[in-house]
Structure formats: C-alpha cells, structure tokens
Structure 1
Amino acid sequence: MNILILNNFWRYPGTERWDFELVCYEELICHDTHQVTYIVNRRGRTAITAHPDSCKIYEVEDFNDSTRLAEITAQVVAEQGPMDRVIAFSENLLLPAARLREAFAIPGPDMAETLLARDKMQMKQYMHAAGVKAPRFLAVLPGSITPQVASFVREVGLPVILKPADGASSIGVSRVTSLAQLETLLGALPEGDWQLEEFIAGDIYHIDGLVDAQGELLFSTSCRYINTCLDFSFDSPLGGVMVMPGCALEDKLVAFARRCLSALGFNRCAFHLEVFLDKDEEPVFLEVGARVAGADVPYMIEHNTGVNLFKHWVDLILHDRTELTPEHRGVGAWLMFGLPEQLPQQVNGVTEFVGKIPSVYRQHLPQVGSELIKEGGYCALQSGRFLFSSPCATQLAKDVEQVLQEFHIDLQTLEG
C-alpha cells in the first residue's frame, strides 16, 4: 500500500517521558512492505524513528495550510502512484486528513463523517433522533442574549454550559450561573460555532475502545473521571479510575456506548466517549471522538489489558480487521496535577510515589532545580503525572486518594 501519515505527536526517546511511546509507526506499519510517507510539523518530527531509507518525510509549518498539504500529496502521488490510505491520530489532524481523502479519492472517513465526530451539536442531534438520552442544546452567536437564548435558559434552568461546537480539552468552555454572566460571555465570544448546553449533574465517565468494519464494539474499558477537563483548567487535578471489568456498572456503560456508536455509524476506528451518570444513575451522552483518548488514558489501558489502541486502529484502517486478545492484568488509574498559572517557576521539591505506594508504577515529575515552562496539552510536562495498577479496586481507590491528598510541589517564582 501507498500510505500517508500526518503526525504532530512528539516523543522523547531515551528519556523517562512516555509521551506517545505507543505510537512507534515502524512497529505499527511494515515500512518494507508498504510505501510510507510522513507529513509532520517540527514537533512531530521527533516521533519519526523509522530508518530514513524506509520512508519519505516532509515538514510543514502549519497543518491548516491545506494548499501545502495538497501539493505534497500530489507530488507523492505523481512519484509513487495513487494513495491507498491516510492515517492521522491527532484530533487536530482528522479534518486535514479527511480533506486529502476527498481531494485524492482515498478510502477512509470523508469530511461529513469526520465532522460528525467533531461537531458536538450534530452529535447530540443524532442522539436525540435515535432516542439516546443527551443534553438539550441551542446554537448561539456572539453578541447578546436573544429571546431564543432567554427562552432556552428558562426551559433548562441555570447553570448552563457555553462551549464551542468543535472544541477539545474544555478549551473555551464556561459554566454559566447567571444571565448577567451569560450576557458578558456572549459579548466577548470570538467568531465561530457556539452552543449553550443543558447542565447535567452527576459523575462523568470515559469509555474507550475500538469498533470494527461493521460498527460492532470490539473492545472497551470504562473509567470514572476524577474531576473534569473544565475543573483541570481551573487548577484541579484530573484523572480517571477504571470501573471493575464485568460489574453491573460497566455492563450498563458498555450497553450505552453501543447505542451511541450505532447512532453515529462509527466504524473501523478507535473512540473516546464521555457520558454522565445522572441523579437516577442513568447514562447521558456528553460527547465522543473517533480517536484514541488523550492524556495518559492509552498507557493505562495498555498496561492493564495489553491492548495498544493505536496498533489495532491501524490494523482496522489497513485491513478492516484486527486480532484482539485482551488480558485482565489489573485495575488501572491515571492522575495528573497541572501547572501553575504563573510561569516560569523553579522546582525546589516535588512529592514522589513510585516505590512508596505499590500501585503507582510510573510517574513523570519535573526535576528539582529545573525551570517549569508552559508546554500545552495533557501529554506534556505537568506538575505531576502518575499511572496506577492494582489487582484490587478498593485498594486502588485508596491509593489514588492518598496521592490526591499528599502530592505537593514546591515552586519558586523566578525574577524578571
């Protein structure tokens, strides 16, 4: 096959950082059997560890430059023949990949399919049409409170959530508790597609897995979030604890996931689904992506089940099938503590837990004496990142709580 890979993931070979270590492309795709071409940005170049003679690499400054991407693809097609597949793992690259598929008649998700996995309003429309419980919502424009907006707020009540239609990681999301706050926020919104969403009280869970060529669920794990992505943007820790496989709660979440994925027609892909459990302990759809989860979710899954979601996603893309043999190695969790708002700062001390708490098998901490700077993204240098695994769900919960209570980082503001 003639395969094009778009990559903006970064790696740190030879260091303790595990960022995107599961994305070793030459292990996922045989570069001797296939013709492989990479388009990367400067950051993404660090993840390409294949032998230079086994592939072609083109670097771009901006993946949103669709003209440049098309020029490179046209050049590769002229030299090597028609492109058979385009692979992009990052959520930010799914639309550029879809544009190339449409422009060069390459099999795989087109723009309409890809937008369905990005547009949160369209997702909820599909859920409502399929009878799947999802929050009520209203499309809004920058400006002021219109009669329609006021009517929606009266109908669903406060608080409401204001969010972009195609955002990620809770960027641009606000919890609105008054009409005065809403008026201010609407007046300051940048141009784009925005929505008001009904607030659902309850715990949030993420369900991660794979669907096959027929849209059937191949594999999944379920986790209860520790706080939310929105909380994380306001300095709360963020994490997730696996639901015990085979328990009644997991069965309920998996059954709900099947309904959501069927309603959207997902196939041949990984997925990251987020759902509420409302006051009646019933699942409510929040959003879903046709991709592997971010943060440390895939590493927790691989350690505790033996399943590398990236590998099996590639198998589905290339061959429409994959061989899965999940193992139950333990119950896992992931946890991260974000960076302070004021940077740079010097690290004078930080709490370590590997070797002190048996279930903490991996930690990523800034070095004492180093300077903390903003990197951006969940898979980045944070104040602390921890991965857990335990045979006992009860002990795991206690260990996670201990880290939440005892973690501390001692920082010193740098002058100038």
Structure 2
Amino acid sequence: MNVLVCRWDRVTLEAVLDRGARVTLVFDEWEAANRGVDQKLLDRVDNYYVIRSFDALDELAQLAVDIRSTGVKIDRLLSLSEFSQFGAAYLAQLLGLALPAVETSVLMRDKRAMKDRARQAGIPCARFVSMSTRDIEGAVRRAEQELGFPVVVKPAAGLGSVDTSKVEDAEQLTAVLQEAGSGAGVRFLMAEEVVNGDEFHVDAVWADGKAKVFGVSRYLRPRMAVTTPGHDNGSILLPREHEAALYEEMENLHERINLAFDITDEITHLEVFRRADGELWFSEIATRFAGAAVPESFGPRAADLRELWIETVLGEGRELPAKTSPYPYVGWINLAPAEAGRILEEPSDESISRFPYVLKTFRSRPAGSEIEELHPSVWCLLLVIGADSEAQFRERAAELEAALLPAYVMGK
C-alpha cells in the first residue's frame, strides 16, 4: 500500500513503515526546524517533501502534480495534525482520494461550521455567534444581544485552547477583537455561551462505522479553567469496567455525532461536557489523534493510540494483544513553568524516578527551549502515571507538581 503522510510524527511514521507500507511524507519548514526530524527515519521513506505551509494551495497543487508524475498511485492519505487538515483534504482531492474530504475538513476545522452541523442534527451544544475583525462594533453588539456575557471567544479555525479566552463584558470583547485584527487581512472568530461542568474527551478509532478503539477520559479540570499550564493540566483514561454507564452514554452520543458528520473510517478526538443537570453537551470533534500524552496513555493497557490506529488502517483486521496493566486508571499530566521565558533548568530524570507510578516521560520543551506565551497547551514535561482510583490519580498528580515544579528555573 502507498501511503501519503502529512506532518511529522515519529510514532505514527514508524508504525506505518513497520507494517510494510510505502510512504511519501510531507512536512513543513517549521517542523523541519523544530520537530527533531530523524534522518534515519527519513531514509526509510520512499520520498519526502518539505513545504512552506499546508495552507499554501499553490505549493500543494504543484506537489500533487509532482507525486502523480512519479507514477505512484497513493492509496491512503493520513493527516496527523490540526493544521494539516485543510491542505490534506485538498491534496486528497487532487490525487483522486475520497478521504479526507474537503467538506469534512471544513467541518472539523471551522468551529462555526462544526457547531452549525451539530445543532442541525439536534445534538446539544453551546449557542454561538460568528464574528470578524472587519466589523468589530457589530460583532460585539451581536454577542451581547444573542448570548450575553460572559462568553468564550476562540478563533474560528483554531487549535484546542490556544488563543481562547473567557470574556466578561463588551469592553473586553472589543479589546480581544481589536488585537486579533491588528495584522493584515480579516480574522474570523466565534463567541459562544459558557458551558460549565465536568469536561471529558473521547478518543476512538473507526472502521466501517464501528469503533475498534474507544476510550473515555476526564480532564483534571475543564480546559478553560486551567490558569497555568503546569497545574491540574491532564486527564485520566477511565476504565470501561468501572465506568460502564458512562461509556454507554458516550457511545450513544458518538453514534449521533458520527452520523451528523459522516464519520466512518477515521481516528477522532471528541470533547464533551456534562452539565450540572446531567446532560452531555457536545463541545468539539477532530479527525486526528489528540495532543499532549493522550495517545501514550493507552499504552499500559494496549498500545499507543497511534499504533492502534495504524494497525486498524494497515493491519488487515489483526488485533494487537491487550496488556495487563498494574493500574486500572492511567492518564497524563503536564508540568510546566508558571512564567514565559527561556527554560534554564527543569526536573531531572533522577528526581522523576523517585515516583514508581510514573510510567513514561516526554520532554516537549526541554531546557533551552523558549516559551513565548503561556496557555494550557504549552506542553513541557509530560508524565504518564498510573493509579488504583481516580482520587489516587489526582493525589499523585498533586504530589508530582509539589515535588517537581520548583526545579524549573527561567531566564531571558
């Protein structure tokens, strides 16, 4: 099978190559400079291209022509990140592939289109208004009249909680829109009503409309309530055997969502709130694997979520053997500095090894890295940890924060 992989991700790329696929790889200049691209792994692919951006349609069109000129017929295209979704769908259309579809890429990336589709299907979700920096006064007026304050403001096609904020009044919303519109061109944003309650994410792999992998995780605290990236920033993968009723609710909701968005053969990352009245409300969905250490959290009980996905895509129906985990509750936390700047010192491997329930360690921003702006998705030191209960998981997360966060030293 000939597979076109969009974006650099070591685990996914190794999984595809190890299953015998022939790979054409495309990644952008930012990744080439910042992702630690491994030349030995590059040597295993058939061909690779470094492009300016997955948003540069002229370059993607030339790329498609070049791929076709090699005589290689691409059988499957895999888009590995949020920011490659639009470009990957465009490439797929130029290469004669049904998936990923352009319309689906818009539904997955533009949160206004996503919420519209969910509401049309009768799926409970937050009310919203569309805004642009071309008419700031009108946008503020519509948000105040249709939603009231406070509201959550986010880019229409943003990523997770980046550039997302809770806005308390018209004056603050005006300032947010003015800042967003300070550059060239028009920026599109959305304001939506605040939804309170526990926040969950559901990570699944689908084949012919059936879930091959399905995991429900609870965030330690809702993403919008994370005030610093190194505190209460993580999630717990809940065991089905202890949470059967919750899993059944989530499966029923996901079935409705899949029908609304025509999801049949994808990997998905869904975010859901349970409100105070007990009702589950749709927040967002993406046809990509989750960030942080969510994929690795599946490892102690099965395999990395990315490996499970690729096994479904390329494994001809084989099942990866289940593992016996010493912990029924596994999840991840993020430890990070509480201020921007250059990381001069960070927690050592030796200090982490004192906690036997830490199962894996990942350093996304090691010493020497720059943090320009703090937000919940500033991944620095990601730890996969295990526990016997959800309460114990939270206790261990707090213990790790208290012991390891003081080791961070920041400079300029």
TM-score (norm 1): 0.83
Pick closer, same or farther for the CA change 1:80–1:198 going to 2, 3 Å. Answer: same
1:270/1:309 contact within 8 Å kept: no
Q: Which amino acid aligns with 2:20?
A: C
- Which position in structure 2 is the counterpart of 1:16? none
Shift of 1:203: 1.6
> Which residue of structure 1 lines up, in the alignment, with residue 357 of structure 2?
359
**How far did 1:119 drift?**
1.7
2:38 equivalent to 1:40: no
Query: Which amino acid is the alignment partner of residue 202 of structure 2?
Result: I
> Which of these residues, 332, 335, 340, is aligned with residue 334 of structure 1?
332
Aligned to 2:211, which of 213, 217, 220?
A: 217
Equivalent in the alignment of 2:400: 403
Match status 1:60 vs 2:57: no
1:161 lines up with 2:152 in the alignment: yes
Question: Is the 2:19–2:315 contact (alpha carbons within 8 Å) kept by the matching residues of 1?
Answer: no
CA distance, structure 1, for counterparts of residue 377 and residue 151 of structure 2: 29
Work out which of the residue numbers 193, 202, 209 in structure 1 matches 2:197. Answer: 202
2:304 corresponds, among 298, 303, 308, to 308
Unpaired stretches in structure 1, ≥5 consecutive residues: 10-19
What code does the residue aligned with 1:208 have? D
Change (3 A) 1:403 1:149: same
Q: Quote how far apart the aligned CAs of 1:108 are.
A: 1.5
**Separation in 1, partners of 2:196, 2:103:** 32
Contact 2:335 2:405 in 1 (8 A): no
Amino acid paired to 1:175: K
Instruction: Give the secondary-structure state (helix, strand or coil) at the position aligned to 2:98.
Output: coil
Contact 2:218 2:237 in 1 (8 A): yes
Using a 3 Å threshold, how does the CA distance of structure 1 residues 219 and 328 change in structure 2: closer, same or farther?
farther
Match of 1:5 in 2: 5
Matched residue, 2:273 = 276
Alpha carbons of structure 1 residues 405 and 255: separation in structure 2 relative to 1, 3 Å = farther
2:237 aligned with 1:242, yes or no?
yes
- Name the residue aligned to 1:126: 117
1:255 is displaced (CA, Å) by 2.6
Is 1:267 aligned to residue 264 of structure 2? yes
Structure 2 CA distance, aligned partners of 1:132 and 1:73?
A: 37
Secondary structure of the corresponding residue to residue 331 of structure 2: strand
| Greater Cα offset, 238-247 or 305-314 | 305-314
CA contact (8 A) 1:271 1:290 kept: yes
Aligned residue pairs, count: 397
Distance change in 2, residues 1:239/1:80 (3 Å): same
Segment of structure 1 superposing worse, 156-165 or 185-194: 185-194
**Structure 1: how far apart are the matches of 2:377 and 2:399?**
23
**One-letter code aligned to 2:305:** L
Q: Does the 8 Å contact 2:126/2:283 carry over to 1?
A: yes
* Correspondence for 1:17: none
Structure 2 Cα separation of the partners of residues 119 and 306 of structure 1: 33
The answer as to 2:37 corresponding to 1:24 is: no
Q: Look up the equivalent residue of 2:137 and give its one-letter code.
A: I
For the aligned residues, what is the CA RMSD? 3.2
2:204–2:269 CA contact under 8 A, matched in 1: yes
Larger displacement relative to structure 2 (385-394 or 108-117): 385-394
Q: CA offsets, 1:97-128, max 9 Å, x none?
A: 11111122123222111111112112212221
After superposition, the C-alpha distances for 1:273-323 in whole angstroms (9 at most, x for unaligned) are: 0011111122111101011101100001122x3143323433555588564
What SS is found at the alignment partner of 2:371? coil
Q: How does 1:130-149 map to 2 (within 5 A)?
A: 130-142=121-133, 143-146=135-138, 149=140
Contact 2:215/2:237 (8 A) holds in 1? yes
Distance 1:315 1:272 in 2: 18
Name the CA distance, whole Å, in 2 between partners of 1:127 and 1:320: 33
SS at match of 1:217: strand
**Secondary structure of the residue that 1:128 maps to in structure 2?**
helix
Letter aligned with residue 245 of structure 1:
R
Asked if the contact 1:138–1:149 (Cα under 8 Å) also holds between the matched residues in 2, the reply is no
Deviation of 1:182 (Å): 1.5
Aligned counterpart, 2:103:
112
Which 5+ residue runs of structure 2 have no aligned equivalent? none
* SS of aligned partner of 1:407: helix
CA contact (8 A) 1:66 1:96 kept: yes
Q: CA deviation at 1:23?
A: 4.2
Give 1:164 deviation, angstroms: 1.2
Check conservation: 2:16, 2:314, Cα contact below 8 A: no
**Which of 367, 388, 392 is residue 385 of structure 2 equivalent to?**
388
Looking at structure 2, the residues matched to 60 and 367 of structure 1 have their Cα atoms a distance apart, in angstroms, of 24
Q: Does the residue aligned with 1:302 lie in a helix, a strand or coil?
A: coil
